[in-house]
């Protein structure tokens, strides 16, 4: 096996708890990838997980004993659950099923996995995976919110076709995404991962959201908006070029992920919320994404058929307020939180009200009405007003790259003053 000793995972120790879901098979490839990067992987295989992968396969790939039973006298003599949980640098639960998340949120310890999770004094990360209806269920979302409040880090689930045949959020993150998330945990904030490692923002981690969100109605329809992601991507590149380590959480766009930037693709507002939480801590958060205000309360598992004279009724529910969430101190608030306000009328007044309502530090207000036949949403130019505690600055209409450069320079000024 060819090792990558230069990886930030080299020499690190992971306790991998494999939950009971069909996606458990991905953990076999994950173990192999982590071993290639020089990481030691110990495993706990739950009873449900053992229905999908075998202890022999897990131990054969990890080169370590696969632990399954809390009350095995031999294991408790040789490697107690306290040692098992504390000799790791990080604990990862993948797939984190609805059952495992519920037990973690409630503090239940009825097996080796849940007992080790209570006994550990190390950071814990989860990679949720389940049916989309289970993921959206109010109980699961309550448990998920509780785990985030408890400081659990998250690798956001993906969206697509599920093993049950339905389509929606709930897919276990791809192995590459899980590896990147683990590498990010062990990458020092000052690591030279950008094109301008010695730039004025060297050592700063900046979280950016960009693009629209797609809120599923049924397997073929969704609620969305006209955001192209161009402004958010331009800001990410401008900050990268000034030395920052950038995490870009992007809704669906046609743009190519920028080099030297950790790009996390998401679909829905719930996905984006999870990805943003997983990316913390950060020095700066910039919420450029046009997150849908609402989603359908109950997504249909089959395509809604058109019936003449019979219009479907969609019950909507409010999406999470990601900007407001990031501005809350109890979630590890970034030092500088910047929001965007896309308006079509009374731009300054609406932006000022949003600044106060969200609890962020700056608001970038932009009038998205079309000018000279070009819409701001999807277009290449923008005209904004920056609202800060020092007042309001009106910036002339300019290419989005120039707007991004000017905002990046304002952030540099902020840190010089502070």
Pair 374, 252 in one domain:
yes
Of 144, 123, 127, the residue nearest 30 (C-alpha): 127
| Per-residue pLDDT, 198 | 56
Q: Which residue has the tokens 């993150």?
A: 173
Residue numbering of the annotated binding site: 293, 303, 320-323, 340, 354, 358
**Under 8 Å CB-to-CB from 56, ≥6 apart: which residues?**
66
User: Catalytic one among 164, 276, 287, 360?
Assistant: 164
| Per-residue pLDDT, 366 | 84
Residue 378 pLDDT level (bands cut at 50, 70, 90)? low
> What mean pLDDT value characterizes the chain?
86
User: What is the distance between the alpha carbons of residues 182 and 329, in angstroms, rounded to a whole number?
Assistant: 25
| Per-residue pLDDT, 300 | 87
- In-domain check, residue 221: yes
Look at the chain and report how many structural domains it folds into.
2
Instruction: Answer whether residue 143 shows pLDDT above 80.
Output: yes
Instruction: Answer whether residue 347 shows pLDDT above 80.
Output: no
Pair 209, 264 in one domain:
yes
Tell me the pLDDT tens digit for each residue of 155-209. Answer: 878 766 666 666 667 788 889 888 988 887 887 543 434 444 458 998 899 999 9
| Mean pLDDT within 282-301 | 93
| Per-residue pLDDT, 189 | 45
| Per-residue pLDDT, 195 | 46
CATH code of 342's domain: 3.40.50.10300
- In-domain check, residue 302: yes
347/241: higher pLDDT: 241
* 164 is annotated as an active-site residue: yes
- In-domain check, residue 85: yes
Single residue among 185, 216, 235 that ends a domain in this structure: 185
Residue numbering of the annotated binding site for CTP: 293, 303, 320-323, 340, 354, 358
Angle between helices 98-106 and 138-149 (to 10 degrees): 50
Instruction: Answer whether residue 71 shows pLDDT above 80.
Output: no
Tell me the pLDDT tens digit for each residue of 19-42. Answer: 998 999 999 999 999 999 999 999
- What 8-state DSSP symbol labels residue 22? G
**φ and ψ at residue 23, rounded to 5 degrees:** -70, -5
| Per-residue pLDDT, 194 | 41
| Per-residue pLDDT, 99 | 96
Domain that holds residue 21: 13-185
| Per-residue pLDDT, 374 | 57
User: Among residues of the chain, what percentage have pLDDT more than 90?
Assistant: 52
Pair 177, 272 in one domain:
no
- In-domain check, residue 38: yes
Pair 209, 329 in one domain:
yes
């Amino acid at each position: 096996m060819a090792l990558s000793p230069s990886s930030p995972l080299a020499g690190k120790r992971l306790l991998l708890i494999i939950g009971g879901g069909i996606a458990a098979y991905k953990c076999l490839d994950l173990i192999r990838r982590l071993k290639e990067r020089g990481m030691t992987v110990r495993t706990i295989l739950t009873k449900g997980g053992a229905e999908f992968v075998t202890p022999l396969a897990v131990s054969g790939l990890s080169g370590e004993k696969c632990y399954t039973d809390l009350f095995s006298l031999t294991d408790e003599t040789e490697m107690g659950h306290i040692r098992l949980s504390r000799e790791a640098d990080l604990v990862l639960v993948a797939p984190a099923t609805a059952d495992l998340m519920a037990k973690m949120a409630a503090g239940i310890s009825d097996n080796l996995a849940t007992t080790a999770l209570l006994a550990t004094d190390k950071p814990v990360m989860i990679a949720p995976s389940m049916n989309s209806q289970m993921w959206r269920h109010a109980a699961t979302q309550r448990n998920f919110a509780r785990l985030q409040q408890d400081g659990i880090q998250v690798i956001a689930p993906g969206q697509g076709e599920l093993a049950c045949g339905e389509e929606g959020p709930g897919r276990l993150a791809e192995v590459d995404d899980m590896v990147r998330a683990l590498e990010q945990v062990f990458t020092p904030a000052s690591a030279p991962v950008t094109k301008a490692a010695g730039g004025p923002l060297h050592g700063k981690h900046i979280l950016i959201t960009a693009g629209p969100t797609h809120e599923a109605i049924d397997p073929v329809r969704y609620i969305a908006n006209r955001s192209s992601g161009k402004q958010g991507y331009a800001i990410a590149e401008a900050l990268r070029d000034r030395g920052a380590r950038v995490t870009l959480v992007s809704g669906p766009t046609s743009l190519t992920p920028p080099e030297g930037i950790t790009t996390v693709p998401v679909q829905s507002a719930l996905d984006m919320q999870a990805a943003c939480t997983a990316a913390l801590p950060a020095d700066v958060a910039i919420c450029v994404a046009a997150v849908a205000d609402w989603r359908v309360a109950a997504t249909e598992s089959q395509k809604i058929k058109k019936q003449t004279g019979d219009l479907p009724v969609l019950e909507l529910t409010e999406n999470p307020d990601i900007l407001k969430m990031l501005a809350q101190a109890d979630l590890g608030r970034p030092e500088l939180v910047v929001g965007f306000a896309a308006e079509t009328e009374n731009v300054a007044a609406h932006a000022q009200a949003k600044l106060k309502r969200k609890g962020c530090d700056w608001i970038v207000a932009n009038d998205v009405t079309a000018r000279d036949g070009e819409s701001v949403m999807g277009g290449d130019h923008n005209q904004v007003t920056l609202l800060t505690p020092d007042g309001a600055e009106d910036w002339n209409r300019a290419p989005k790259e120039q707007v991004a450069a000017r905002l990046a320079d304002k952030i540099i000024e902020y840190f010089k003053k502070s």
